[in-house]
Every structure is written in structure tokens, then in C-alpha cells.
Structure 1
Amino acid sequence: MAAAAGGLFDLSLLALSPPGWGGVLLEGFVRSLQLAIGGYALGIVIGIGGAFGKLYGGPIIRDLLEVYTTLIRAVPELVLILLLYYAGTDAVNALLSLISLPPVDISGLVAGIFVIGVVQGAYSTEVLRGAIKAVPAGQIEAARAFGMSPFKALTRVTLPAMLPFAIPGLANLWLISTKDTALLAVVGFSELTLVTRQAAGTTKAYMLFFCAAGVLYLALTLVSNIVIGIIERRARRGIAEPV
């Protein structure tokens, strides 16, 4: 039994070069980071557009955005990932065929970023909408009184002023996006969770490899918390703290 336990925790299996699997795990971790960063950035872009559309768009735009955010938040993320991953790529190729263009082979990374971005966008929309509503109306009115264009007022007044209110929610969404990358293992994308499963299945050292994956996710979360704390302190400079 001691020998079996030693095999389960044989740290040589984590070596970066074969027969170790450490290099494979790090490659999967990098792909998970690419997915998380790309999907999160896309979600922020969708969220900014969605938030302003809900606040200042016409009734049709507001209704469409309400349907989008409600559906995305109501359906389990795993179901959304399966639906968007397969149906989304099929829809793109169907659209290309309608305009007499050849189908394209969409990479797993691009499809994964799109899937996570669409999911993140619904939540970002609500976070940013609440943050925009928290900006004092007088600041926006003052920008308009000085003759700023809507775009300049957005970039110089609204977005900087809403940032302190948005950071806690956006920080939480970033951490969620890092976890959502693991769900893409079900569609065969070689991110950290899938390669961990492959390594554990090959070596039968399940505890070792899943603990190693957990450590990588934990390290990412700890580093993210440090960076988020720095960003939040900088964003809140000059803002009086409540007594």
C-alpha cells in the first residue's frame, strides 16, 4: 500500500519534460489563460454596449437586450457552452454558404473565446448598467454643458466615474471566467482541466494531477486578487470613504 501511495504522489510525473506531464499541464494552463482573457475582454465589450443600450437605447433595443441577459443568466452555463460552441460554428458556416463563400474551420480557441464572451457579456451588461446608474447625474450634465460630444463624455466622464462602482462586480466576473474555461473540456478543447484528466488517466495518479491543477487555479486567483486590489485602489483615489 505504501508503494501504491508513493506512485500516486510521484512528483517526477510533474517534470516538465517527458515522461513527466508538467509541461503538458503548463501548456493547458496557458490555453486556459488565453480563453479567460479573450472571453473576458469580449464580455466587457459586449457589456459596455449592452449597458448603454439598456439605459439609452430605444424600446426595441432595450427589449432585445433584456431577452439576451435573461436567457443567458437563466440557462446553465454548461448548456450554453455546448449550444454556442456547436450551433455557433454551424451558424457561421451556414451564413457563409448563403453568400456563396466556402466554410471556414473555426479554431477551438476562437470558438471558446466567443462562447465565454457571450456568457460574460450578459453579466457584464448588468454590472456596468448598475455602475453607470451610480454615477451622479450632475457630472454627465456638466460634461454636456461644456459642449462635450457623447463619445467624449463617455470616455472622459462616464467610464472613469463608474469604474470604482464596477470593479467589484467585474473582478468577480474575471474569477468566474477563469473557472468557466474548465467547462470547455466537455467539447474537447485542451485546456488545463482536460489535459489534467488525460494525464491522470494515463498515469492513474489522479490525486497528484488534480491537486496540481488546483494549485495552478489557486495561484491564478491569488495573483488576480493582488492585481484587482491595485486597480481598485488606483480607481478609488480621491473618493472619500464612508465613515
Structure 2
Amino acid sequence: MVLPTFNEVDNLAWIVGRLRACQPSVDVLVVDDGSPDGTGAVADALTAADPQVHVLHRSAKGGLGAAYLAGFAWALAEGYDVIGEMDADGSHQPEQLGRLLVGLMDADLVIGSRWVPGGSIVNWPWQRELLSRGGNLYVRLLLGIPVHDATAGFRLYRRTTLEKLRLESVRSTGYVFQTDLVARALHAGLTVREVPIEFVERVRGESKMSPQIAAESLGRITRWGLGERVAQLRTRATRGGRP
């Protein structure tokens, strides 16, 4: 499991401990973006104490997507057949990882989803829920993809899936990265499965999400989605014999 971190000194040991306890066979890679609060030192201590915990230090904060791309590249180079991602703040519960593992049995990408039947959230204000639900509905309609939680960050990928997604061409480094990879998987004809999870708002530390970041992500998705639709229309027109 790849865990990107930036200023998660209060959460990292706690979440890694839970993950290793409930899934002892799962290895962990912490990707720290030069956290000034000492998160990197905590990661080093965890690595020294447990051979199944690894750390990748990056010199500066480069965005969520960039951290995951670095983590995926490391995991692929190390030969892992299943590569996952999850937040380090406790919002994704390691105890529910088993649901994703079951879902991966007949899928190429599994998403732990808040917005499918059985999914839920804990301790979110209604404004944030509205923003997430509305944003995902907008993504679903604009991009024409049958995924209810395209922005979710609790996932499992098969190795073969990541190899087909042309990760070297991914330019989205922020939160829109999650949507980008879902769309790429579907366009490649891969099977994307959503399984319900309970998402819990962090209790320690500060959230990295803000209205400004959400607005920026939706703006990028809009430009990207409209470009995709224009390309589709041009393709249809060409196939129909029209200029």
C-alpha cells in the first residue's frame, strides 16, 4: 500500500500499525514530500523496526498525484503484483481493506467508494458532503463514466492495470489525479469495481483539501472533459463521412 504523507507526524505510526495488524501480508510504502513536522523521521523509524515498511523521501511537496506516481514506479520496479493507495490520516480504515481485496478478484481496479449503496461518511459537515457528491455527479455526467466516487483515494490496482495506463504520460499532480486514472482505466477497456466503505473524517492534523483545491480540480476536469467530448464528436463526424 502506498501512503503519501505531508505533515502527518501524529497519524503515520498509528495508521501503519493498524494496517500491519489487520493485513500482516501487506507491505507499506510511505512517500513523504519533505514534511517539516518530522513525519519523515517517523517513517524512518517504522522502516527500521519492520522490514515490510519502506519509505521514499521526496525533497518537496509536489502534489498528491506526483507522490502516487513516484510510489507506483517504486512498487512496479520492486515487482509487486497488486499496488494500493490510501490516505495516512485515518479516513480510510485499514480494517476495510479486505473488501477491496475481494473486489479485485474479478476487477482490474477496485475503488473503496463512499457514494454507492452501503458506503457512508462519518463526521463530515453537510457542505463538504454536498461538494463531494455534486463533484462526483458532475464528473460522471461530463466524462460519461459509470463511477460514483471517481475522486476516492482508497484503491487497489493490478500491476497489469498500471502498466496499461501509460503513467509516464500522466500530467495531473493534484487531486484530479484520481479521476484521471479512473477515466484512463475505463478508456482502456478495463474493469473498474466500486465497493462500499465507511469514510471517517480525520481527528488529528489538518485536512489538505480546501474549497480552492476542489474548485481547481473541477476546473481542470471541465477543460479535460470538454476536450474529450469535442474529440468524440469529431471522431463520430469523420466516421459518418462528414468533414
TM tier, smaller:
under 0.3
- Structure with bigger gyration radius: 1
With structure 1 as the length reference, what TM-score do the two structures score?
0.25
The structure where strand makes up a greater share of residues is: 2
Point out which structure has higher relative CO (alpha carbons under 8 A, 6+ apart).
Answer: 1
